[in-house]
Structure 1
Amino acid sequence: MSSRAAIRYAKAILEQASEKGTAEVVFGNMKSIEATLNASKELRNVLKSPIIKSDDKRASLLAIFSGYDLSTTSLIELLVDKKRTAILGDVASSYVDLYNKSKGIVVAHLTTAVELDASLEAKVLVKVKEITDGKDVTLEHHIDSNLIGGFILRVGDVQYDATVANQLDKIQKEFSNRL
């Protein structure tokens, strides 16, 4: 869950990028920032650390995210100046959410134990479009090797758990109720 400050920064950047006509480019930048920060615990720790100097954080972030849109680099500069680098990931996540909402895009999160082939992923996307009454849908696929089998599909606030563990749990409860 993003903080109110992160949401405010994200709204401001989205508004600025929309005025410039670069909202889609910044969207790509924010997805990249979000993925980079999610993949690197060390980088998240650097951003949160009060010991590391702001200039070092600025140099690191601008080097890591070089070649990004001016709105994105300005955001990084602003967060460094305001000593709010710890919320960069939340700002990026909030931007992605706000951008998707502004474009009417529904994001479906699919979690499986293994990688899906393209045809199966396409079938899932068709089903999700049916569930959402044909809205524009983006499928984000996550792999969780802890799942024994099956999948978990989350669209907005609705979650469908078709994992083997969930099915076994239902059977156990039903069996216990009958005794």
Structure 2
Amino acid sequence: MSSRAAIRYAKAILHTANENNTQSVVFEDMQSVQNTIEASRELQAVLQSPVIKAHDKKEALLKIFSGQSAATHSLIKILVDNKRTSLLANVAKSYIDLYNEEQGVKVATVITAVPLSSELESRVMAKVKQLTNSEKVTLQNEIDPEIIGGFILRVGDIQYNASIANQLGNLKREFSKSI
């Protein structure tokens, strides 16, 4: 969950992007920023570290994200200047959520024990489109081996849990009630 500060920064950059008509460019930047930070423990540590100087963080981030737009570079500079670099991943996530909401895109998250096959992904996508009455749907697949099998589907406030772990938990509760 994003902090209120991250949401404020995301709203500000979305507003600027709307004024400059660069929303989709910044959207791609934010996806890249979020994926890069999530994939690198070292980068996460640098962003969180109070020991590393702000100037060094700014220099490193601008080199890492050198291919991004001027709006993204501006965001990085502002976060560094305000000593808020630890929020960068949350700002990116908040921007992505706000952009999708503004574009009417529904984001569905499917949690499975193994990666979805392309056939199963298309079947889940069709079901999500039917449930949401929306043609603009993106699907995120998260892997969680602890659910054993089946899936958990989240679309907005709705969650459908068809995991084997959930079914085993229900059986365990039923048995403990009858004892």
The TM-score with structure 2 as length reference comes to 0.94
Contact 1:13 1:71 in 2 (8 A): yes
Structure 1 Cα separation of the partners of residues 135 and 80 of structure 2? 38
Q: Report the counterpart of residue 47 of structure 1 in structure 2.
A: 47
Q: CA deviation at 1:96?
A: 0.5
Q: Report the counterpart of residue 158 of structure 2 in structure 1.
A: 158
For the pair 1:19 / 2:23, whether they are aligned, the reply is no
Structure 1 Cα separation of the partners of residues 156 and 24 of structure 2? 22
Structure 1 Cα separation of the partners of residues 22 and 59 of structure 2? 24
Partner of 2:109, secondary structure, is strand
Unaligned runs of 5+ in 1: none
Q: CA deviation at 1:99?
A: 0.3
Q: Report the counterpart of residue 105 of structure 1 in structure 2.
A: 105
Q: CA deviation at 1:15?
A: 1.0
RMSD: 1.3
Structure 1 Cα separation of the partners of residues 38 and 107 of structure 2? 18
Q: Report the counterpart of residue 4 of structure 1 in structure 2.
A: 4
Q: CA deviation at 1:43?
A: 1.1
User: Can you list the C-alpha shifts for 1:97-119, whole angstroms capped at 9, x where unaligned?
Assistant: 10011001111000111112211
The count of corresponding residues between Structure 1 and Structure 2 is 179
Q: Report the counterpart of residue 147 of structure 1 in structure 2.
A: 147
Q: CA deviation at 1:12?
A: 0.9
Counterpart code for 1:25: V
User: Can you list the C-alpha shifts for 1:74-113, whole angstroms capped at 9, x where unaligned?
Assistant: 1001111111111111111110110011001111000111
Counterpart code for 1:76: I
Identical aligned pairs, as a percentage? Answer: 55
Higher mean displacement: 72-81 or 38-47: 38-47
The TM-score with structure 1 as length reference comes to 0.94
Structure 2 Cα separation of the partners of residues 167 and 145 of structure 1? 15
Counterpart code for 1:143: I
Partner of 2:146, secondary structure, is coil
Partner of 1:146, secondary structure, is helix
Structure 2 Cα separation of the partners of residues 175 and 79 of structure 1? 53
Contact 1:104 1:135 in 2 (8 A): no
Equivalent residue runs for 1:1-179 within 5 Å = 1-179=1-179
Q: CA deviation at 1:135?
A: 4.7
Counterpart code for 2:86: A
Structure 2 Cα separation of the partners of residues 140 and 45 of structure 1? 25
Structure 1 Cα separation of the partners of residues 26 and 134 of structure 2? 26
Unaligned runs of 5+ in 2: none
Counterpart code for 2:26: V
